[in-house]
Structure 1
Amino acid sequence: MNVKILTDSASDLSKEHYNEYDIELVPLTVHLDEKEYEDAVTINPKTIYDAMREGKSPKTSQVSQQSFKTIFTSYAKENQPLVYLALSSELSGTYQAAKIMQQEVIDEYPDAPIHVIDTKCASLGYGLIVLQIAKLAKEGASLEEIIESATYQTQHMEHIFTVDDLEYLYRGGRVSKTAAFVGSLLKIKPILHVEGGKLIPLEKIRGSKKLFNRMLELMDERGTDFKNQTIGISHGDDVERAEQLASMIKERFGVQEIVIEMVGSAIGSHSGPGTIALFFLDKPHN
């Protein structure tokens, strides 16, 4: 019996990925215009970005404990191995909700092979881990092999990203109002990364022309062996710039495989339109 992989919608994978690798999805909730939507199910990211451009401020909420209990119980009853790879616990309470329900279900079904892993990642950095693990599961890898590989990748996944307007990060509590105002005034583009599951500012670049070159320099400094791994790029409704960055990466590093996806509604509600994010392993898993 192959191990089943569960992910939440903050992994920003496409429906094609879910179908091809038989990945189960549990959606976060997006709140817009006093209505609730299931991220990646009943709302698409374009709707969120258009609303944000109009000055609206969508909100998000974590996956409910009851959703996890229902899913975990169904697998426990069948004694089906399940690994849930979760959005960083530093960015959402979803992981903690899953851990509480994992324990509840295991109390009822002591032998249930239900595992919950905090990826400490977000968006397509998280999604790349889910993809690699789902491939292993489809190939029949053991539960132990899957947990070992997932644990390695969560420790080695790099996130290098920038936002088009600091105002969105301010609304989400990620930067101060002063920083957002000054950044917009001076056309400063921040470069951020994820460390220990948290968003951490790295640098500020004046003007967008220098931005991608610096992102590639950081990629070169932080990673190795790009030809033998899948690189991820996610974007806030700006596929043209995402493809431009992909072209630069292929030219500079000889990368063969790049996955480009739009930042989903849940993550995009905080990062805003124009976000460009780059993901890679600092050292691929042998």
Structure 2
Amino acid sequence: MNVQIIADSASDLPDSYIEQYGIKRVSLTVHLDDQDYLDAVDIQSKDVYDAMRNGKAPKTSQVSPQTFKDLFEEYAKKGQPCIYLALSSELSGTYQTAKMMQQEVLEEYPDFQLEVIDTHCASLGYGLVVLRVAQLAQENADMETLLKTAESHMNHMEHIFTVDDLEYLKRGGRVSAAAAFVGTMLKIKPLLHVENGQLIPLEKIRGQKKVFKRMLELMNERGEDLGNQPIAISHGDDAERAEQLAEMIREEHGTQEIIIHQIGSAIGAHAGPGTIALFFLNKPYE
């Protein structure tokens, strides 16, 4: 029996990939206007971005313990091995919750094969890890192969992103109010990346046009085999600019597979509309 791959909604994978590779997706919760919504089920990220543009400040919370327990027990009863690949534990408590529920379920079903992995990745960087593991699972790869592949991809996944408005990072405590004010006045666009699962400021770029050029330079410095690996670009309701970046990559590297998709509510509620994020491996694709 295939190993079932489970991911959460912060992976930002398009529904077509979720369906094609039989990935089970669990939703984080979005809090907006005193209501709770399941991400990608009851609310779409476009609704969240529109609310943010109108001055609202949506919040998110992790997947509930009961959701994990019910899901893990469902597969335990069927005897189907599972791997849950989680959003970085530095960005959400979802991984820790899943680990607690894993322990509870394995006490009742000691022979059940259930692995819970902290990918230290986010958005489509996380999604690319999930996608590769799910592809191999569909080909009936064994648990050991899947875990080795997950570890390799997550340890070599690069995240480079920029936000359109520092105000949203200020709300989330990523930058100070003063820095956000000055940055907005000077049209400074921060570049950030992910290191050990955390969002880390990388550089400050002045002017919109220079940002993509610098992102591409960083990609060329860090990436390997860029023409032969799937590359992903996620965006905060700005498909036009995401496509511009994709075209620059195609022209330079001839990359055939570039996944472009909107950043979901779980990440978008903190990064805000206009965010552009680029994901690739810093080692040859396997």
Corresponding position of 2:99: 99
Corresponding position of 1:73: 73
Corresponding position of 1:2: 2
Q: Provide TM-score, normalisation by structure 1.
A: 0.99
Corresponding position of 1:204: 204
Alignment of 1:1-286 (within 5 A): 1-286=1-286
Matched residues in 2 for 1:173 and 1:17: separation?
33
* 2:124 aligned partner, one-letter code: L
Q: Provide TM-score, normalisation by structure 2.
A: 0.99
Matched residues in 2 for 1:17 and 1:29: separation?
22
* 2:30 aligned partner, one-letter code: V
Unaligned runs of 5+ in 2: none
Report % sequence identity.
67
SS in structure 2 at match of 1:160:
strand
Show CA shifts across 1:199-240 (max 9, x none): 000000000111100000000011110111000000000000
* 1:51 aligned partner, one-letter code: A
Show CA shifts across 1:257-284 (max 9, x none): 1000000011100000000000001003
* 1:10 aligned partner, one-letter code: A
Shift of 1:77: 1.5
Kindly report the root-mean-square deviation, in angstroms, between the aligned alpha carbons of the 2 structures. Answer: 0.7
Show CA shifts across 1:41-94 (max 9, x none): 110111000000000000000001111000111111222100000000000000
Unaligned runs of 5+ in 1: none
Shift of 1:285: 4.1
Task: Please say if residues 62 and 92 of structure 1, whose CA atoms lie closer than 8 Å, have aligned partners that are also in contact.
Answer: yes
SS in structure 2 at match of 1:259:
strand
Show CA shifts across 1:108-160 (max 9, x none): 11111011010100000001111111100001110110001001111000000
Shift of 1:251: 0.5
Query: Which one is further off, 22-31 or 74-83?
Result: 74-83
Matched residues in 2 for 1:225 and 1:113: separation?
34
Matched residues in 2 for 1:138 and 1:62: separation?
28
Matched residues in 2 for 1:182 and 1:70: separation?
48
Matched residues in 2 for 1:17 and 1:43: separation?
19
Matched residues in 1 for 2:122 and 2:163: separation?
15
Matched residues in 1 for 2:73 and 2:24: separation?
14
- Displaced runs of 4 or more, over 2 A: none
Task: Please say if residues 121 and 197 of structure 2, whose CA atoms lie closer than 8 Å, have aligned partners that are also in contact.
Answer: yes
Matched residues in 2 for 1:113 and 1:104: separation?
13
